[in-house]
């Protein structure tokens, strides 16, 4: 028993140190990506970006490579418009065949670890009056987040920049009558492990979501997008059998209540532009580039 407690202590210490390190790195990455986007016409080089961040080029490259697993130069190739267009073109060519058997069984990470279930109207009527929701705060390689869950699964995951209080108010606005308790549950621990790519193969993160039937279909479709790949809003609408409802699909994607676990960041505009994101386009760009780097997607 003592050995198990010691092992748990070691894991939590390593996890905490990892989160702090990645969070600190993300702050640097976000500033760098924002600068690159603001000055994309001039295509700033490594030295210029490092100077903007008040770092030496060597230090900046080390931090960036530690966070992304690839050099800044390679990462920028993963997030440029040409690369995005190539990915969209490949996805368009396989969409029909990929979804003829329905939304299931692809064997990708999100399919293995994340399972979506819609709430019944009775579970969320009157602002969640009869729901008990636990929430906790965490750090990830993509910044600070708040995760909230019912007894059946995660219902919200919001990234935030300003304060914990503001993030909590957003949850309270969604569930004004629910009983909210600050408590980290085993499910929240699994979310941390998911961000670290350390979730065991048999683990599952259930999602317990409030949404219309159309929204739930859209969010389920998002789970089918392979890591490192991208789809357009039209692609997603087509996937759920409503190609003419591109705008409605876009609205449903924008209302995704669970960041990253439901990978709405993998949906971009058809011309290859990253576009808006509920938690900031810079964060979306970071997620897209990081996933491509992990999958070693060939850059255009």
The token duo for 149 is 């869950």
Give CA–CA dist 158/255, Å, rounded: 11
- Of 194, 121, 116, the closest CA to residue 152 belongs to 116
Phi-psi region of 254 (alpha: psi -120 to 50; beta: other; left: phi over 0): alpha
Mention every residue, 6+ apart, whose C-beta is less than 8 A from residue 227.
108, 109, 110, 263, 291, 294, 295
Phi-psi region of 280 (alpha: psi -120 to 50; beta: other; left: phi over 0): left
Chain centre to alpha carbon of residue 148: 15
From 178, 264, 287, 292, active-site residue: 264
Rounded to 5 degrees, what are φ and ψ at 102? 90, 180
The token duo for 264 is 């709405």
Q: Is 264 a catalytic residue?
A: yes
Chain centre to alpha carbon of residue 2: 36
Q: Is 253 exposed, middle or buried (0-12, 13-18, 19+ CB in 10 A)?
A: buried
- Of 39, 27, 271, the closest CA to residue 141 belongs to 27
Q: Which residues pair with 54 in a beta bridge?
A: none
Give CA–CA dist 67/268, Å, rounded: 23
The answer to whether 188 and 140 have CB atoms below 8 angstroms apart is no
Active site positions, annotated: 264
């Amino acid at each position: 028993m003592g050995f198990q407690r010691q092992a748990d202590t070691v894991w939590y210490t390593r996890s905490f140190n990892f989160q702090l390190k990645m969070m600190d790195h993300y702050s640097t990455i976000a500033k760098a990506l924002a600068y690159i986007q603001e000055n994309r016409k001039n295509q700033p080089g490594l030295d210029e970006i490092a100077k903007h961040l008040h770092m030496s080029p060597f230090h900046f490259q080390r931090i960036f490579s530690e966070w992304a697993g690839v050099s800044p130069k390679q990462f920028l190739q993963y997030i440029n418009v040409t690369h995005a267009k190539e990915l969209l073109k490949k996805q368009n060519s396989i969409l029909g065949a990929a979804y003829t058997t329905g939304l299931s069984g692809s064997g990708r990470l999100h399919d293995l670890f994340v399972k979506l279930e819609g709430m019944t109207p009775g579970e969320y009527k009157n602002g969640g009056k009869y729901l008990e929701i636990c929430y906790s705060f965490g750090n990830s390689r993509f910044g600070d987040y708040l995760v909230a869950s019912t007894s059946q699964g995660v219902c919200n995951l919001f990234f935030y920049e300003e304060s914990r209080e503001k993030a909590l108010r957003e949850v309270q606005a969604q569930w004004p009558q629910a009983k909210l308790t600050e408590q980290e549950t085993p499910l929240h621990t699994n979310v941390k492990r998911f961000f670290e790519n350390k979730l065991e193969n048999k683990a599952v993160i259930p999602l317990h979501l409030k949404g219309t039937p159309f929204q739930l279909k859209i969010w389920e479709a998002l789970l089918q997008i392979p890591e490192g790949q991208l789809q357009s809003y039209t692609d997603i609408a087509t996937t759920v059998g409503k190609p003419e409802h591109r705008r409605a699909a876009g609205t449903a994607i924008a209302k995704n209540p669970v960041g990253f676990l439901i990978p709405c960041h993998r949906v971009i505009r058809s011309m290859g532009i990253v576009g808006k994101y509920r938690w900031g386009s810079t964060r979306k760009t970071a997620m897209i580039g990081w996933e491509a780097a992990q999958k070693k997607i060939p850059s255009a």
